[in-house]
Each structure stands twice: as structure tokens, then as C-alpha cells.
């Protein structure tokens, strides 16, 4: 048997980090088993689906390095893999199910359904519709002929239950006294999601349905439709949802939830992929940094946790830093340079590129995100420096600041050679002479030179900026203080 899995996002929002993890687990499972990963578009919610979201989902998957073997864009033996292109197929299945007696045309009016709901409430039971107003073949034919088609409902066997073994969650049983004879095709001929999803899974030969736990309550419906179609049921694996560090379901309150936000914030795809992979799955290694090869070699659904995983941003930042440091200096600056140009609003000159490339490894040693580079090299790329008000207020209001600025200016002006070592020696001499600690004595210099209390290492920054601009900035800051 060839493993065939699918990721079936609805293009009603940006790809969520939870969706990214679901896609990744499907992909890892397929790659581990040499199977097929299908990407389909569950776009039946026409009001909320947009092309922009669809494009975002594709771009986010590509950014994460998740490719698909069949499905939207790449095609395959099953058409376009878009549900909106398959309405005729869903109608045909509904008609087949009516013909076989597994489904029926229903005549319940909204008032009758409301009565069932009210009666159930009074009896403190669930308002389950059991098909009591199903239409006879003649009544249904008459309504179809009159252009007033009734909805189609699945006849849920009663009494009865649906039982299955979820690969992640174990044995699951749903008693049918809580399952409606649910609508599969509306009177306007559009399919209900459960029908579209199940028909797709059957038609595309899906062997394992790996998806979020939010869909678990719908799974008995999908199994009932699959059985009614006379098809074998796939194995189901429902993944726990992601929580924030406070134990509540991950939402915007906890930070960004869209994959694209992490791309834009300077995270590396490999780091995000690694982070998502171990959110609820352990490769059984001591290390949390796991190569893609190891993930593929070791991925197993049985090792996926059924407990909710915690999306811990601090851990993602740490992990991203690890990936940044594992890169070569060249890879790092290749990724950082375009961001610097965007920040600057223009292309870098050849000299400026050289300056940034020389400075980049010093930032790479500490950075958590790629987007930290541009603000830290800005001071090198303009004649004037813009000083962050917060940094100025924090550092320049001390009694030591004017002494440090004047002392640094004098010590540096006297230098014959403008090098990192000479600058360091001059400034350390200034600290000793003035009796200043490095913190009190060098922070004002840093803010005057780089505009910020957070910068690349100071001596290297001065060396890169050059004598003339450095002295001018020290003088300007001193004048502003005086």
C-alpha cells in the first residue's frame, strides 16, 4: 500500500502556525514512508475564501520547504483538487447514496426542526434529527420536478455507534444518539463540508487523515459517509491543538499566529520547521535541533503526543539564533543584505556592501532574528546618525556622560592609526584616566556613535565608521548635552 496523505486548508485565512505543523506532519509522514503528499483546496466557503489567502498558503508552505506531489498548482490524476470544481461529483455521490438508501431527501420544515430542538431542551436531551420527516420517493420526485429540490440527509443507523482507533488518541466511540441525520447536500445543490471532504478523501485514495483535533467531532460523520460509499476508511490521526504559554488555545493574544509573520520577522524557515516539528513530536534524540534528514527518518505518528503542545516564542527565538549561528558568514550576509537595502530604501554601494559584510559576523554571533541586522548597521550607512530617544534618555542623563564623550573625543583624535586595537586601547586609557566603569564610560560613546544602546561591538563599530564621522558624532552629542 502506498501511503497517501493530504493537507486540506480552507483559504479563509493566512496559514496558521498550527496549520503549518499539520502540513509538516503530513509531509514528514509521506516522506518517511515514500508516500504521496496531496495539497487540496477546501474552498467551499465561497464568502470567506479569497485568492490572497490561497496564495499565502502556497507561499508559506514553500517557504517552510514543504512540497507536494499532487494537488493544486502541480495537478495530478484527480483534476484541479479544488472543491469548488467538484460540485457535480458531490451531487452525483449524494444521488447514489439516496439510490442505495444510505441517504434520503428530507422534508422537515424549519418549524418542525425547531419543535424538535425545543422538545429536546425540555427533556434535557440532545436535539437529534432522526429522519422522521423524510420524503417518500414520490414526494421527492414531485419536488424535484417542481424545481424545489429538498436537501439530502444521511440516514444515520440507529441505534448504533461509530468506533475507530485514532493513531494519536487511541480508541474513540461516538454513540449515534448524539449524531443527527445530517444534511450532506443543501436544497440549492451545494455540498456540506463533510460530504465534500469525505468524497475527496475517498476519490483521492487517502490512506491517512492527519489533521487538527478541532475536526474530531466531525469524524464519525466522515466515517459514516465513507462506509455509505462502500469505501475503506482511512486511518485517522487527530493532532492536539497548540496552546499559548498560559495554557489557553493559541490566539493572536499570544503573538503572531500566521506563518508569514515569522517570515517577515526574520525567522529562518529551517528554524520554524524544526520548532513546529517538535511541537508535540519527539524524534527521540537528546538534541532539540533536528536535521530534516533525521526528522524524515524518525517521524512516526505513534510518537506524536496527545497532550496540547505549548507554542513558546522564547524557544523559537532561541532556536532561530542557533540556526543563525550555524550558517556561514556568507550565507548570513547574503540573507541580511536585502533586508538592509529594504530598510535603507535604496541599493547599497559596493563600499557599503563591504562594510555591512564585514560587520555582519559580529551581529550573527548574538542575533535571534535576521531583522536585527538592518537597524544595527544603519549608523554606518548615513552621514548623520538618528539617536533613539529611549537610548539617549537612559544613557546621556548621567553625570558621567559629558566626561566620557569629551574624554573619548580627545583620546580618539590623538590616534595615529584608526584600527580596532588602537581604538580599544585609547578608550580603555580614557576610562582609566577618568575613573569610569566600562558601562558608564562606554555606553554614552555607543549611543553617540550608533544611535542606540544596542549595537554591534563598540570598537569595531568605531573602526568601521571611520575617524571623521566618529569624531563628528562624539562632538555633536557633547554639544547637544552642553
CB of 40 to ligand GLU, least distance (A): 9
Phi-psi region of 52 (alpha: psi -120 to 50; beta: other; left: phi over 0): alpha
Residue 236 CB contacts under 8 Å (≥ 6 apart), including other chains: 164, 166, 167, 208, 209, 219
Write down the catalytic residue from 221, 248, 252, 315: 252
Q: Which is nearer to ligand GLU, 158 or 186 (CB)?
A: 186
88: Cβ–Cβ under 8 A, 6 or more apart, which residues? none
Instruction: Confirm whether 252 is a catalytic residue.
Output: yes
CB 181, min distance to ligand GLU, A = 21
Indicate the pairing of strand 70-71 with strand 161-166: unpaired
CB of 9 to ligand GLU, least distance (A): 5
Between the two ends of the chain, the Cα-to-Cα distance in Å is 80
User: Smallest distance, Å, CB 313 to ligand GLU?
Assistant: 24
Cα angle for residues 421, 422, 425 (degrees, 5° grid): 85
Between 10 and 240, CB nearer to ligand GLU: 10
Torsion of Cα atoms, 268 then 273 then 275 then 280, to 10° = 170
Cβ distance to ligand GLU smaller for residue 48 or 163: 48
Q: How far is the CB of 228 from ligand GLU (least distance, A)?
A: 18
Q: Write the burial class of residue 104 (CB in 10 Å: 0-12 exposed, 13-18 middle, 19+ buried).
A: buried
Which one, 197 or 376, has the nearer CB to ligand GLU? 197
Summarize as ranges the residues that interact with ligand GLU (CB under 6 A): 8-10, 42, 197, 211, 215
Of the pair 9, 451, the CB lying nearest ligand GLU is at 9
Cell reading at 227: 462506509
Question: Is the Cα dihedral 123, 126, 127, 131 positive or negative?
Answer: negative
Residues that are catalytic: 252
Amino acid at each position: 500500500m502506498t501511503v497517501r496523505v493530504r493537507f486540506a486548508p480552507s483559504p479563509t485565512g493566512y496559514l496558521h502556525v498550527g496549520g503549518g505543523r499539520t502540513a509538516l506532519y503530513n509531509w514528514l509522514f509521506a516522506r518517511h514512508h515514500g508516500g504521496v503528499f496531496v495539497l487540496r483546496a477546501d474552498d467551499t466557503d465561497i464568502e470567506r475564501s479569497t485568492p490572497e489567502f490561497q496564495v499565502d498558503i502556497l507561499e508559506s508552505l514553500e517557504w517552510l520547504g514543504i512540497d507536494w506531489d499532487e494537488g493544486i498548482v502541480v495537478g495530478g490524476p484527480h483534476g484541479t483538487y479544488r472543491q469548488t470544481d467538484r460540485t457535480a461529483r458531490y451531487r452525483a455521490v449524494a444521488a447514489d447514496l439516496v439510490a442505495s438508501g444510505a441517504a434520503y431527501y428530507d422534508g422537515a420544515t424549519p418549524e418542525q426542526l425547531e419543535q424538535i430542538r425545543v422538545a429536546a431542551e425540555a427533556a434535557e436531551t440532545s436535539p437529534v434529527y432522526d429522519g422522521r420527516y423524510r420524503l417518500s420517493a414520490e414526494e421527492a420526485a414531485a419536488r424535484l420536478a417542481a424545481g424545489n429540490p429538498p436537501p439530502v440527509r444521511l440516514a444515520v443507523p440507529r441505534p448504533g455507534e461509530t468506533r475507530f482507533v485514532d493513531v494519536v488518541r487511541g480508541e474513540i466511540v461516538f454513540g449515534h444518539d448524539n449524531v443527527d441525520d445530517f444534511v450532506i447536500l443543501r436544497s440549492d445543490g451545494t455540498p456540506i463540508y463533510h460530504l465534500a471532504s469525505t468524497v475527496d478523501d475517498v476519490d483521492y485514495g487517502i490512506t491517512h487523515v492527519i489533521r487538527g483535533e478541532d475536526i474530531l467531532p466531525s469524524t464519525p460523520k466522515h466515517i459514516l459517509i465513507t462506509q455509505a460509499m462502500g469505501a475503506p476508511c482511512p486511518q485517522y490521526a487527530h493532532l492536539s491543538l497548540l496552546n499559548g504559554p498560559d495554557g489557553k488555545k493559541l490566539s493572536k493574544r499570544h503573538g503572531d499566529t500566521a506563518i508569514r509573520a515569522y517570515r517577515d520577522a526574520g525567522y529562518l524557515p529551517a528554524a520554524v520547521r524544526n520548532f513546529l516539528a517538535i511541537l508535540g513530536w519527539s524524534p527521540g534524540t537528546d538534541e532539540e535541533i533536528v536535521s530534516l534528514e533525521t526528522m524524515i527518518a524518525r517521524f512516526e505518528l505513534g510518537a506524536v503526543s496527545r497532550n496540547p503542545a505549548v507554542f513558546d516564542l522564547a524557544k523559537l527565538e532561541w532556536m532561530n539564533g542557533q540556526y543563525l549561528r550555524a550558517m556561514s558568514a556568507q550565507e548570513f550576509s547574503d540573507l541580511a543584505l536585502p533586508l538592509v537595502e529594504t530598510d535603507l530604501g535604496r541599493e547599497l554601494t559596493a563600499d557599503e556592501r563591504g562594510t555591512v559584510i564585514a560587520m555582519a559576523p559580529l551581529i550573527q554571533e548574538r542575533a535571534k532574528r535576521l531583522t536585527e541586522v538592518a537597524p544595527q548597521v544603519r549608523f554606518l550607512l548615513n552621514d548623520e546618525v538618528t539617536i533613539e530617544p529611549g537610548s539617549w534618555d537612559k544613557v546621556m542623563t548621567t553625570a558621567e556622560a559629558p566626561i566620557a564623550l569629551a574624554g573619548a573625543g580627545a583620546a580618539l583624535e590623538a590616534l595615529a592609526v584608526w584600527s580596532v586595537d588602537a581604538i580599544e586601547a585609547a578608550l580603555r586609557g580614557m576610562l582609566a584616566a577618568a575613573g569610569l566603569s566600562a558601562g558608564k564610560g562606554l555606553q554614552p560613546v555607543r549611543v553617540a556613535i550608533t544611535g542606540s544602546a544596542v549595537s554591534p561591538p563598540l570598537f569595531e563599530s568605531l573602526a568601521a565608521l571611520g575617524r571623521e564621522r566618529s569624531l563628528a558624532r562624539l562632538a555633536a552629542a557633547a554639544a547637544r548635552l552642553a
